[in-house]
Amino acid sequence: MSDAAYNPPDTPLTVLHSDHAIIVVDKPAGLLSVPGKGEELADCLIARIQKVHPEALLVHRLDRDTSGVMVFALTRHAQRELSAQFEARRTKKAYRARLWGYLEPKEGRVDLPLIVDWPNRPRQHVDPVNGKPAQTDWKVLGHEGDGTTRVRLFPLTGRSHQLRVHMKETGHPILGDLLYADGAARDFPRLMLHAESLRFNHPETGRGMTFAAPCPFR
């Protein structure tokens, strides 16, 4: 979460797919995936889904200020199967982001271990000794005239705040990141990070499925 007051968007639920085992949705930026501590943080994506599907179960999360594709299970079996795929890194995730400055070269990998920064929670930081392995691939999509870069990011691991910390460590933080960006890089209407696509095997049929949500920013 950022240091901004919680004011979740009052927008209709965007369902990308649903069947007897799963529901896939496009999470809006500014909405928690799960409830936080306190009644003021009760409104969240899973609570909104459970109003329609009371049986919905959590599989993974996106940061509050990140938008994009999320899958929820509708049975315990589906939850176990999907959770195992995420844990074993059998899912494929792609994100869109805008970064401060001109990131070069055109593609590359960040390989820096991460761990929670306990005195400054929920911030994470790089720790070569105690951090858990974390890798992110990037591909530059274009450079903008305002001195920013459009990229597609491919997390190979799923650490908390991984993309945000890794981009900060390149010297090109994600625009609008109130936790990890400084100065003018913070001065944007939202965190410019979107979970563009997610691929996994259906927990019942085993069939590979890919779901995508259009990026809400350029």
Distance CA 30, CA 8 (A): 5
List the helix and strand counts (H, then E) for the chain: 3, 11
114: CATH: 3.30.2350.10
pTM, entire model: 0.96
Q: Is residue 168 part of a domain?
A: yes
Would you state the pLDDT for residue 1? 46
Would you state the pLDDT for residue 179? 97
Does 2 score more than 90 pLDDT? no
Would you state the pLDDT for residue 213? 98
Q: Give the model confidence (pLDDT) of 11-25 as tens digits.
A: 999 999 999 999 999
Q: Is residue 85 part of a domain?
A: no
Cβ atoms 165, 114 nearer than 8 A: yes
Cβ atoms 74, 22 nearer than 8 A: yes
Does 209 score more than 80 pLDDT? yes
- Largest separation between any pair of C-alpha atoms in the chain: 49
Would you state the pLDDT for residue 75? 98
Q: Is residue 103 part of a domain?
A: yes
Cβ atoms 149, 138 nearer than 8 A: no
Does 146 score more than 50 pLDDT? yes
Does 32 score more than 60 pLDDT? yes
* Mean pLDDT (whole number) for 77-92: 98
Q: Is residue 167 part of a domain?
A: yes
The parent domain of residue 173 ranges over 94-193
Would you state the pLDDT for residue 4? 64
Q: Give the model confidence (pLDDT) of 105-145 as tens digits.
A: 999 999 999 999 999 999 999 999 999 999 999 999 999 99
Q: Give the model confidence (pLDDT) of 94-108 as tens digits.
A: 999 999 999 999 999
Q: Per DSSP, which regions of 106-168 are E strands?
A: 107-111, 114-116, 124-126, 135-143, 148-155
Q: Is residue 33 part of a domain?
A: no
Does 150 score more than 70 pLDDT? yes
Residue 105: asked if its preceding bond is cis (omega within 30°), the reply is yes
**Structural domain count, the chain:** 1
At 191, give phi and psi (nearest 5°).
-70, 120
At 19, give phi and psi (nearest 5°).
-150, -165
Q: Is residue 60 part of a domain?
A: no
Distance CA 116, CA 73 (A): 28
Residue 91 tokens read as 């899912």
Catalytic residues: 63
Q: Which of 63, 66, 65, 28 is nearest to 49 (CA)?
A: 28
Q: Cα dihedral angle (33, 35, 36, 39), rounded to 10 degrees?
A: 140
Q: Is residue 184 part of a domain?
A: yes
At 169, give phi and psi (nearest 5°).
-70, -20
DSSP assignment letter at 126: E
Would you state the pLDDT for residue 218? 84
* Mean pLDDT (whole number) for 187-215: 98
Question: Please, what is the average pLDDT of the chain?
Answer: 96
Q: Is residue 50 part of a domain?
A: no
The sign of the CA dihedral 31, 95, 79, 134 is negative
Distance CA 148, CA 96 (A): 13
- According to DSSP, the residues that pair with 74 across neighbouring strands are none
* Mean pLDDT (whole number) for 200-211: 98
